[in-house]
Amino acid sequence: MTTAYEQLTARFARLANLNGAAAVLHWDAAAMMPVGGAGARAEQLAVLSLLGHEMLCHQEAADLLDQAEGQRDDLGPWQQANLREMRAKWRHATALPGDLVTALSRAGSACEMVWRTARAEDDFASLAPGLAEVVNLVRQAATAKGEAFGCAPYDALLSQYEPGLDAADIDSHFDALADFLPALLGQVLEQQPMPPAAPERMPAAVQEAISRRLLDALGFNFQHGRLDVSLHPFTGGVADDVRLTTRYDEADPLGSLYPALHEGGHGMYERGLPAEWRLQPVGGAMGMAMHESQSLLVEMQACRGDAFLHYLSPLLRELGGVSGPAWEVQGLATRVRHVARSLIRVEADEVTYPLHIIHRYRLERAILGGDLAVTDLPGAWREGMQGLLGVDVPNDRDGCMQDIHWMDGAFGYFPTYTLGAMAAAQLFQTAEAALVNLSDDLSRGDFARLMAWLGENVHSQGRLHGSADDLLTAATGAPLDGAIFRRHLEKRYLGD
């Protein structure tokens, strides 16, 4: 006879495959699906969401969890961690009624499709009703989970993306950032050199070829993944079928190559997750901040440093057919590390990026708390951008409609971007100390040792540790330390 724990693993394996199918459908909706398929796709995803919810909420699942938890002493460390993660997923699912889960899925799919047209036409008025419905449903879900978990509604949303984290933790980290970033930004803007002009255009097909070469250098396995185009670069799919996307602008090739590297970092994390636990909760990534740390460690920490540029510069000349000072190492350095007050989050530099995230964090808390109506979002967005970044927002397309996350109901997600940047600095500092002459590797485009270190200390750990702080402590010797990120920024941009 199979034990209660073994029956649970079979149930969660079925659930993982169901969610994996939904993940590929989400990728297809963003990268391949014709516009006319939106309605059918929304229904498909809603049904899959409900089926997964019902699998978790069935009384048999609750009974099996109770039985398995009574037999914890018979389980090994990974099995115990897996049981912990199973219970967490069960708690999140059972906090919500099935009709709310279905409504959220449908509303998110519909709002996302409206956003694609509304953003292109700079028409917030057409988006507002759908976004208001998403906010209404997310607020209901947050309230229900908050009551079930005994915490604030926003903290309940955060726990979906970053277990063990609450708004007080974020406030502490973000207040520290807000204390020093404005002054640092002013200093950097005062002393940084202007980057050389780069008039050469690069065909999209050539950019794609270079992106693939860079992903090869990372070690990304195209037998288990793809690189495609989407409006908003992202990583989707499942660990054995990783779907990366980027976007191409012939006048700005670096604007596609670095997003490809960023998504490649995500992809390497997905591919490196423990294969033996792939269909179990413990085999997933340790929260979205840790996931973001892997993409930013590649894109920002490793690939915007001078060592990597010694590899990138000749590669661009060879495959891209470009020449001149803008494409030499020093010219590239001033371009890829150029700091500017910018409108667009995904194009922002390391110094200003956290301010974009703080801005969104404040807005989403106000929206979910009922202090900001969706119809007032454009004005609040403009005010916040001016106050935090000193940027005037000329339109809603490049303002409150620039990101996809809220349209799909992903509230509580944005803080993980900057927490991930902080974790990336801490992990890279530790990796540099452990891997002698790592910069020599990067100057040859050789990521093997770095990826092996990340594989051992982060990727292969899955969700064995209870939180990102626990994983960081195991990997670096300390929980998240914002001072390391501050020192990184000061050293890179001020030479301190």
Q: Per-residue pLDDT tens for 151-186?
A: 999 999 999 999 989 999 999 999 999 999 999 999
Residue 492 corresponds to which tokens in the numbers above?
A: 């890179």
Residue 266: pLDDT over 80: yes
Cα within 13 Å of Cα(307), Cβ side: 18
The mean pLDDT of 91-98, rounded to a whole number, is 96
Average pLDDT for the chain = 96
8 A C-beta contact, residue 281 and residue 472:
no
Residue 496: pLDDT over 70: no
State how far the Cα of 414 lies from the Cα of 364, in Å rounded to an integer: 9
Residue 238: pLDDT over 80: yes
* Domain 169-494 part of CATH 1.10.1370.30: yes
Query: What is the predicted pLDDT for the residue at 1?
Result: 65
Query: What is the predicted pLDDT for the residue at 198?
Result: 82
Instruction: Kindly report the number of other CB atoms within 10 A of residue 26's CB atom.
Output: 21
Query: What is the predicted pLDDT for the residue at 379?
Result: 97
What is the model's pTM? 0.94
Residue 312: pLDDT over 80: yes
Instruction: Kindly report the number of other CB atoms within 10 A of residue 83's CB atom.
Output: 23
The answer to whether residue 263 is catalytic is yes
Residues in the chain: 496
Residue 76: pLDDT over 80: yes
Distance of CA 155 to the CA centre of its chain: 18
State how far the Cα of 150 lies from the Cα of 275, in Å rounded to an integer: 35
Dihedral of CA atoms 38, 42, 44, 47 in degrees, nearest 10, equals: -170
The mean pLDDT of 126-135, rounded to a whole number, is 98
Query: What is the predicted pLDDT for the residue at 346?
Result: 86
State how far the Cα of 7 lies from the Cα of 138, in Å rounded to an integer: 32
8 A C-beta contact, residue 197 and residue 338:
no
State how far the Cα of 89 lies from the Cα of 483, in Å rounded to an integer: 33
Q: Which residue has the tokens 């498909």?
A: 44
Residue 233 corresponds to which tokens in the numbers above?
A: 């670069």
Which pLDDT band holds residue 199 (cuts at 50, 70, 90)? confident
State how far the Cα of 422 lies from the Cα of 173, in Å rounded to an integer: 10
Options 85, 162, 263, 364, the catalytic residue = 263
Contacts of 287 (CB under 8 A, 6+ apart): 161, 162, 163, 165, 416, 467, 468
Q: Where in the chain is the domain with CATH 1.10.1370.30?
A: 169-494
Residue 59: pLDDT over 90: yes
